[in-house]
């Protein structure tokens, strides 16, 4: 591996592959002083380079690296956005909860993988502020997102999750009611008075994805 000084020079290469590889190698140094140089590449014209920067920032994991990952949540490329969410979840960043929730409640992503990454990240972070937005995500048509939301709520746990799911039993959306009832029986059997299945309106099954 080249030394950090050489790698910083390579970040300015005309070759996108050289820039991407240099960013990855800088991440392996775990040196927080290189973060300021990596942040400039979050605006690189090539999404593969931006993805490498996100991975490098996760490896470093400093406060400034976390700030960079939160910036990367605004990337126009879904793969970069999703990878940044995953990185923030792995790092357990509480300061990322608000930005992650804003992505989850936005309804402008045609495919579920961005929101799946966000829900998974929120579940790993475990902040109670994410409970209601995750419950709302249960209305999706995508089974993979339904499953991620269910897992995240189980991971967060606690009375707050149980109370939110009880409230969800009154939701106008049948899918949310059905999932809420199933989750309550699963995460706290016997603790809550859950209506029998015959009283919970059937939902359309989630679309396979």
Average pLDDT over residues 7-33: 97
Tell me the two tokens of residue 67: 């700030």
The predicted pLDDT at position 178 comes to 86
User: Cα separation of 121 and 141, whole Å?
Assistant: 20
To which residue do tokens 């690296």 refer?
65
Please write the tens of the pLDDT for every residue from 89-141.
999 999 999 999 999 998 666 678 999 999 999 999 999 999 999 998 888 88
131 within a domain of the structure (yes/no): no
In the chain, how many domains are there? 1
DSSP secondary structure letter of residue 196:
P
Tell me which range, 1-10, 32-41, 132-141, is most confidently predicted by mean pLDDT: 32-41
The predicted pLDDT at position 203 comes to 46
User: Cα separation of 52 and 77, whole Å?
Assistant: 13
56 within a domain of the structure (yes/no): yes
The predicted pLDDT at position 127 comes to 96
The predicted pLDDT at position 206 comes to 47
107 within a domain of the structure (yes/no): no
- State what percent of residues in the chain have pLDDT above 70: 91
3 within a domain of the structure (yes/no): yes
The predicted pLDDT at position 48 comes to 98
Please write the tens of the pLDDT for every residue from 40-96.
999 999 999 999 999 999 999 999 999 999 999 999 999 999 999 999 999 999 999
39 within a domain of the structure (yes/no): yes
- Three-state SS at 179: helix
Q: Is the separation of the CB atoms in 8 and 33 below 8 Å?
A: no
67 within a domain of the structure (yes/no): yes
DSSP secondary structure letter of residue 59:
H
The pTM of this model reads: 0.88
**Buried residues in 86-110 as b, exposed as e (16+ CB within 10 A):** bbbbebebeebbebbbebbeeeeee
21 within a domain of the structure (yes/no): yes
The predicted pLDDT at position 202 comes to 52
| 150 or 107, greater pLDDT | 150
Domain span at residue 8 reads: 1-91
The predicted pLDDT at position 175 comes to 83
Please write the tens of the pLDDT for every residue from 169-207.
888 888 888 888 888 888 877 788 887 765 665 544 445
The predicted pLDDT at position 64 comes to 97
108 within a domain of the structure (yes/no): no
The predicted pLDDT at position 187 comes to 81
CATH number of the domain that residue 48 is part of = 1.25.10.10
């Amino acid at each position: 591996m080249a030394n950090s000084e050489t790698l910083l020079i390579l970040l300015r290469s005309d070759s996108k592959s050289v820039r991407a590889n240099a960013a990855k190698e800088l991440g392996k140094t775990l040196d927080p002083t290189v973060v300021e140089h990596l942040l400039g590449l979050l605006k690189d014209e090539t999404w593969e380079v931006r993805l490498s920067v996100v991975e490098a920032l996760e490896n470093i994991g400093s406060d400034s690296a976390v700030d960079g990952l939160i910036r990367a949540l605004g990337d126009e490329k879904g793969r970069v956005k999703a990878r940044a969410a995953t990185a923030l979840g792995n790092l357990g960043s509480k300061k990322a909860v608000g930005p992650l929730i804003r992505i989850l409640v936005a309804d402008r992503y045609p495919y579920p993988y961005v929101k799946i990454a966000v829900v998974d990240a929120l579940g790993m972070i475990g902040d109670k502020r994410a409970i209601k937005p995750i419950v709302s995500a249960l209305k999706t048509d995508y089974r993979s997102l339904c499953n991620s939301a269910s897992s995240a709520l189980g991971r967060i746990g606690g009375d707050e999750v149980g109370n939110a799911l009880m409230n969800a039993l009154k939701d106008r959306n049948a899918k949310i009611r059905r999932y809420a009832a199933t989750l309550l029986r699963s995460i706290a059997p016997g603790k809550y008075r859950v209506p029998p299945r015959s009283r919970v309106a059937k939902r359309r099954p989630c679309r396979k994805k």
